[in-house]
Structure 1
Amino acid sequence: MSSWNFVGIIAWIIVIALLIFVVFNIRNRHLKILVQQKKKITGVTILTDLLEIVVVILAVSGMLYTSLFTKVDLNDKDNIVVSYKYNPMIVQTTNDGQGYYVKINKQESSSSTDVYQYWLNNSKYTVSSQNATVSDATLPFTVSGLRLNWPVKKIKKLDSKYQDAYVITMQAKYKNNFRNGLGLKANRFAMEYRVLRVPASSFINVEK
C-alpha cells in the first residue's frame, strides 16, 4: 500500500473521533443543563447541536465522496497515469475450418452485455463488453464511450506487426499524491479497458 494512503486513514480516524466527540458533547451538555443546572433546553442549545451535527455530516459526506463516489477522469494527468500493453492474439478455428480471433458467446451474454473470448499464448481470456470492445481494422480506429487519446500512430505500426490481430489493454492508475491518498486510492488501479483488434468482422465468431 502506498504511504500516501495513510493520509486517508488519518483523515478517517479524525472524522470518526469527531463523530464520537459530537455525540458525547451533545449528551454531556444536555445532562448538565437538565440535571446539574435544572434548566430547560433552550434554542441556543439546539442550534449548537444542529451546528455540530452539520459539521459531522459534511465531514463524513466529504470523505465518502472522496473515497467512493469520485469518477475516473482519464484525461486528468495530475491524478491519473495511463499505460498501454499490446499482445498478439492466437487464431482459432470453428468445426468447419473457419478461422477467428474473437468469439462472442451469446449463451453467457445478456440483452445489454456481450461476453468476448480470445486467446493469448494458448490461454483463453474472457471479458465483458462493458470493459472491452472489438475493433475492425478495415474501419478507422475509434473507441466509443471512452474519452481517451489513443496512441493511433503506435496502433498503425502494430497493425502491420501483428497483422491486425492483437489486444490493446489500457490501464489507468491513480498517482501517488495527497488527493488520491485522501481517498485511499494512491497507486491503485482506477480501471482497465481492452480493445480486441481483428483484421475484419469475418474473424469474429458469434456462437449462439
Structure 2
Amino acid sequence: MNSWNFVGIIAWIIVIALLIFVVFNIRNRHLKILVGQKKKITWTTILTDLLEIVVIILAVIGLLYNSLFTKVDLTDKSEVAVSYKYDPMIVQTTDDGQGYYVKINKKESSSATDVYQYWLNNSTYTVSSKNATVSDATLPFTVSGLHLDWPMKKIKKMDSKYQFAYVITVQAKYKNNFINGLGLKANRYAMEYRVLRVPARSFINVER
C-alpha cells in the first residue's frame, strides 16, 4: 500500500476511537447524573450528547465522501497524473474481403452500450462503449463526456504515423498527496479510457 494512504487509515482509526470515546462519555455522564448526583437528565446534557454525535457523523460522512463519492477532475493536475499511450491496430477482413479495424458485436451489446473488439499485435481486445469510443478520422477529433486536455499535436503525428488506425489509451492516476491519501486513493488508477481511431466509418464491422 502507498504510504500516503496511511493518512486515511489513521483518520479512520481516530474517528473510530472518537466514536468509542463518545459512547462511553455519554454513558458515564448519564450515570453520574442519575446515580451519583440523583438528578434528572437536563436539556443541556442532551444537547451535549447530540453535539458529540453530530461531530462523529460529520467526520464519518466526510471520510466516506472523500473515499467513495468524489468525482475525479481529470483537468486538475494537482489531483491526477494523466498519461497517453498509442498502439497501432491490426486490420481484419470479413468473409467478402472487406477490411476493418473495429468490430461492434451487437449480440453482446445492450440497448445502452456497445461492445467493441479490436486487434493489437495479433491479440484480440474487447472493451465496452462505457470505457471507449470510436473516432472517425473524417470528422474533427472529439470525445464527448470526457473532459481532458487532449494532446492534439501528438495525435496528429500518430494519425500520420499509423494512417488513422490506432488506439489511444488514456490512464489517470491519483497523485501522492494528503487529500488523495485521506481518501485512500493515492497512487491508484482513477480512470482508463480508449479511443479507437479509424480512417472512416467503413472500417467498422457491425456484427448482428
Please report the TM-score for the alignment, with normalisation by the length of structure 1: 0.98
Offset of 1:36 from its aligned partner? Answer: 2.2
Amino acid at match of 1:197: R
Q: Quick check: 1:189 aligned with 2:200?
A: no
Q: Displaced runs of 4+ in structure 1, greater than 6 A?
A: none
Larger mean CA deviation between 191-200 and 90-99 belongs to 90-99
- Which structure 1 residue ranges, 5 or more long, are not aligned? none
- Equivalent residue for 2:19? 19
Q: Write the distance in 1 (CA, Å) between the matches of 2:124 and 2:28.
A: 64
* In 1, Cα distance between equivalents of 2:122 and 2:31: 72
TM normalised by structure 2 equals 0.98
Q: Tell me the residue number matched to 2:173.
A: 173
Any idea what SS the aligned residue of 1:67 has?
helix
**Aligned partner letter, 1:120:** L
1:151-162 to 2 correspondence within 5 Å? 151-162=151-162
Write the distance in 1 (CA, Å) between the matches of 2:43 and 2:202.
75
Distance in 2 (alpha carbons) for counterparts of 1:64 and 1:41: 33
Structure 1 residue 38, shift from structure 2 partner: 2.0
Letter in 2 for 1:191: M
- The letter of the residue matching 2:90 is I
**Aligned mates of 1:77, 1:83 — CA distance in 2:** 12
Q: Give the Cα separation in 2 of the matches to 1:144 and 1:75.
A: 15
Identity %: 86
Structure 1 residue identity aligned to 2:202: S
Distance across 2 between alignment mates of 1:151 and 1:77: 15
What residue number does 2:49 align with?
49
Q: How many residues align?
A: 208
Report the 3-state secondary structure (helix = DSSP H, G, I; strand = E; otherwise coil) of the residue aligned with 1:170.
strand
Structure 1 residue 32 corresponds to structure 2 residue 32? yes
Task: Tell me how far apart the structure 2 counterparts of residues 4 and 187 of structure 1 sit (CA, whole Å).
Answer: 9
Gaps of 5+ in 2: none
User: CA deviation digits over 1:66-114, x for unaligned, max 9?
Assistant: 1111111001011111000000111111122111110111111111111
Q: Distance in 2 between matches of 1:109 and 1:31?
A: 63
